[in-house]
A and B are shown apart, each in its own frame.
Chain A
Amino acid sequence: MQEPAISPDLIAAHGLSPDEYDRILEIIGREPSFTELGIFSAMWNEHCSYKSSKKWLRTLPTDGPQVICGPGENAGVVDIGDGQAVVFKMESHNHPSYIEPYQGAATGVGGILRDVFTMGARPIAAMNALSFGEPDHPKTRQLVNGVVEGIGGYGNCFGVPNVGGEVRFHAAYNGNCLVNAFAAGLADADKIFYSAASGVGMPVVYLGAKTGRDGVGGATMASAEFDDTIEAKRPTVQVGDPFTEKRLMEATLELMQTGAVISIQDMGAAGLTCSAVEMGDKGNLGVRLNLNDVPVREDAMTAYEMMLSESQERMLMVLKPELEAEAKAVFDKWDLDFAIVGETIAEDRFIIMHDGEMKADLPLKALSGTAPEYDRPWVEAPQADSLGDIPEIDPIDGLKVLLSSPNYAAKQWVYEQYDHMVMADTARAPGFGSGIVRVHGTEKALAFTSDVTPRYVKANPFEGGKQAVAEAYRNLTAVGATPLATTDNLNFGNPEKPEIMGQFVGAIKGIGEAVAALDMPIVSGNVSLYNETDGKGILPTPTIGAVGLLANEAEMICDTVRDGHVALLIGDTTGHLGQSALLAEVFNREDGDAPHVDLDAEKRNGDFIRANRDLIKACTDLADGGLALAAFELAEEAGVGVQLDAADTPTLFGEDQARYLIACNFDQAEALMINAAQVGVPVTSVGRFTGDSVKIGNSEAPLAELSQLFRTSFAVAVA
């Protein structure tokens, strides 16, 4: 095949700016070949290089005594005691999911699972945070159905329980849905595998599925805005094969046991290019690949296509040559391809041979080390509009509007399509707060949550960033867990717009302050920019995935509410209604400032919950929908009615932070009040769980009627 000549159009089609191309010329001192141009575009796109975000990501707290490995590897590694570690990360697959929802979402799940088992950890839990456009937008139904089915199709077959996540709807996502996939795995703390190659002349081995033309240029696609030509981008979406992934996982973990693995890197975005460069760069070595040895499933693939393919379920490893036969036997057992495709070399070169020709000869370090980095101009987000008058509303009517919105209705339509019990260690199913998975064969358990309130982040990026972390902290706390660490999945619009960059900077500052104060360092993450269509950006959506530890079953707060239990509110209530769910859903307004987060209060109140676990039957944090929605959810879960004394809108629907609602018996309530007084934690008795109706002030409705609304509205809206 005749390779196209390098032209300004070709350079632009690779997502490289004229400045960036000049930089390439400077680095290699000549015009790049077509393959080399492809390699640079793969390494330097936003998705792989973090060129707009790096400067700010560096400011995040990433360290702590519990952290074994922070950002920079395939996933973060955190100590959970007894020589064990939890390995986790969250990653977006937004652009592909919008183009091809089933495969886009499926391969998003596949990618994050691979990140986890590449480190030597067996995946034990998954979550997915999804954002879609308005329910009645013509594309939404198809996207929701396709994405949910794709996540289920991949995760169910692979065999990892899906224990949590979020699903939200907002007009700002009409042209860009968000699919943020989280996975966590379990490993021995002293048997973590990294990507840095070591030793010269070591075999570079290709494992897993064969390479096809799917996903060529995917990472570059994911670094661009959308317009009406988007359908033409379908071929850039990869196709997932969870059965191969399952075998790849088993084979990889088995291979690691043999001691043959020196370093390992999965092939994700930008496939062979990114993984080979990563291994060489981290190990200060060069890499030579012979593409004729790469297992392929299509005829006549060019070097360019092979280097940029994003075919799924593939791994690259550097192996100990003396253990090659053992390694191959493991892969034969699982019927997976195993091919030596190159070697490590002493020179700092990335050399690609194909059909006896040298298709690329580039300085390897410079490919990642000198990737462009931008200090994008940004402007502070403008002060939020002041909050207009809010009409009084009957509290039951307000609650009904929330329960009938797919944003707040029960999500069982979604999670019943996910196997959330496989591995038989799910101690708390998804649907309400954190999911919990036991650490198999031990007393311990891990709690998982994912949170962000994009409305807040838009109104006030700094407070919104703090709030996302605080809500994750509370969700872990409410089940009794001690928060350990965090992964962040930062979804924003076009960073070349100073106001979007301002949202990003503000959110990062808020997240940084909160994770420091709450001791939940960021150990991994992912940035997804350019979530815009025809110039319209999404709501800023920095999803926070967080993991907490329960030392034993007794630490778990998981009793159910019973008739006669007291409803206690922990934390201060001022009745903050700006940017509240009530405003958005009932009055179709998004005005006012986001609630401010007092991190000292968060810490104090969270510690109080943990210290008094034994006195608490059931607990939930207060978030969207405030006291009214939290009380309903606690009651509904147990099938018991609830009476709240308050009748005013701010008290019932205000979204002040650092609050929890507790159910307990009378004696326990008394003890909690005494203990709270000693440590300065505000506690208020707000009502009682009893009967078979929901009574708020003087307004009342049968629990069964509200429950029916809550349980069916989601499917009505999108199924």
Chain B
Amino acid sequence: MRAAVLVFPGSNCDRDMAVALKAAGAEVEMVWHKDADLPLGVDVVAVPGGFSFGDYLRCGAIAAQSPICKALVAHVERGGYALGVCNGFQVLTETGLLPGALMRNAGLKFVCKTIGLEVATSSSAFTEGYSAGDVLSIPVAHHDGNYVADDATLAKLRDQDRVAFHYTENPNGSTADIAGILSENRRVLGMMPHPERAVDAAHGGTDGQALFRTLVGQLENV
């Protein structure tokens, strides 16, 4: 399975994402934001956490306009997989690949801690390794993770079983405790918590491992 990790000048979880994907058995290539094309044969594009362009404007807004994001959109339109974590989730909403927006945390402060994350659906290449209702320990670290969408979108997300994760204790004010959502074809996952920070017993626990292993396993068999 081949994964591409996008690198914006302010990405700072790109290495962590690559480490987690490699540990799960993926071949990983880092792709610079100025590139117009993804490497050939990429199965999944990972958009990592960080502060892509400083995020002085809306988080992810400038990144969404970069050449590589046009290639990302084309990849998804072709039915490719994508995973956006934290700033990556923000970028995915800004590109329109996922609905809704991430606003400033309700508490107005940056929040970094390990939280309880409830798996809301096991029906996706990302979450098949879990059972719905499982509660994982996964770190969050963000200033703008407050998920907001209009009622129609929320209803659609619910009806189509596209909420991937809920917070057990909402750290940022997200509507309906939503921590991660899937695209309509279930091949794009955006989530604020950092599963790549939970793939190693000595750092943050191992509850994120199954996400990467399942994803790699699923795509190996395609």
Chain A contacts to B: CB under 8 angstroms: 149, 152-153, 156-159, 241-244, 246-247, 250, 333-335, 412, 415-427, 438, 553
Stretch at the interface among B108-116, B125-133, B146-154: B108-116
Assembly CA distance A412 to B112 (angstroms): 10
Given contacts A159-B12, A419-B112, A427-B203, 12 further A-B pairs with CB under 8 A are A156-B110, A157-B50, A159-B13, A159-B51, A416-B110, A417-B109, A419-B141, A420-B112, A424-B13, A424-B20, A424-B199, A424-B204
B9 and A438 contact, CB distance less than 8 A: no
- Partner of A416 from the list B9, B112, B196 (CB cut-off 8 Å) is B112
A246 contact set on B, CB distance < 8 A: 9-10, 12, 51
Which one of A159, A244, A334 has the highest number of Cβ atoms from chain B below 10 Å of its Cβ?
A159
> Which residues of chain A are within 8 angstroms of B194 by Cβ–Cβ distance?
421
Q: What separation, in Å, do the CA atoms of A169 and B113 have in the docked complex? A: 25
Contact digits for B52-76, partner A, Cβ 8 Å, 1 yes 0 no: 0111100000000000000000000
User: Which residues of A have CB within 8 Å of B51?
Assistant: 156-157, 159, 242-243, 246
CB closest chain-B residue, reference A420: B112
Which of B10, B50, B143, B196 meets A424, CB within 8 Å? B196
Q: What is the minimal beta-carbon distance from B158 to any residue of chain A, in angstroms?
A: 30
One digit per residue, 1 when the CB lies within 8 angstroms of any chain A CB and 0 when it does not, for chain B 24-60 equals 0000000000100000000000000111011110000
Instruction: List, sorted by A's number, 6 A–B pairs whose CB atoms are closer than 8 Å.
Output: A153-B110, A243-B51, A417-B111, A421-B197, A421-B204, A424-B15
Whole-angstrom CA separation of A335 from B32 in the bound complex: 13
Q: How far is the CA of A425 from the CA of B13 in the complex (A)?
A: 12
- In the bound complex, how far is the Cα of B60 from the Cα of A66, in angstroms? 44
Quick one: closest A residue to B56, CB to CB?
A243
Residues of B near A243 (CB, < 8 A) are: 9-10, 51, 53-56
Task: Give the shortest distance, in Å, between A251 (CB) and chain B (any CB).
Answer: 9
Report yes or no: B55 in contact with A157, Cβ–Cβ below 8 A. Answer: yes
Judge whether A152 and B9 touch: CB under 8 Å: no
- Say if the beta carbon of B222 comes within 8 Å of chain A: no
Q: How far is the CA of A419 from the CA of B49 in the complex (A)?
A: 12
Pair A157/B112 contact, Cβ less than 8 Å: no
Q: Which residues of B lie under 8 Å from residue A424 when comparing CB positions?
A: 13, 15-16, 19-20, 196-197, 199-200, 203-204
For window 130-169 of B, CB contacts with A under 8 Å fall at 139, 141, 143
Q: Which 9 interchain pairs have the tightest Cβ spacing?
A: A159-B12, A243-B54, A424-B16, A157-B51, A419-B141, A419-B112, A417-B110, A152-B110, A247-B9
Taking a contact as CB atoms under 8 Å apart, the answer to whether A421 and B141 are in contact is yes
Chain A residues whose CB sits within 8 angstroms of the CB of B19 once the complex forms: 424
CB neighbours of A420 from chain B (8 A): 112
Shortest distance between the CB of B136 and any CB in chain A (Å): 15
Chain A residues with Cβ below 8 Å from B109 are: 149, 152, 416-417
Q: Is the CB of B10 within 8 A of A416?
A: no
Residues of A within 8 A of B34 (CB): 333
Whole-angstrom CA separation of A420 from B13 in the bound complex: 13
Partner of A422, one of B13, B54, B56: B13
- Please judge, given known A-B contacts A335-B9, A422-B13, whether A438 and B203 are in contact too, CB under 8 Å: yes
Which residues of the partner chain B approach A157 to less than 8 Å between Cβ atoms?
10, 12, 50-51, 54-55
Expressed in whole angstroms, the minimum distance between the Cβ of B44 and any Cβ of chain A is: 19
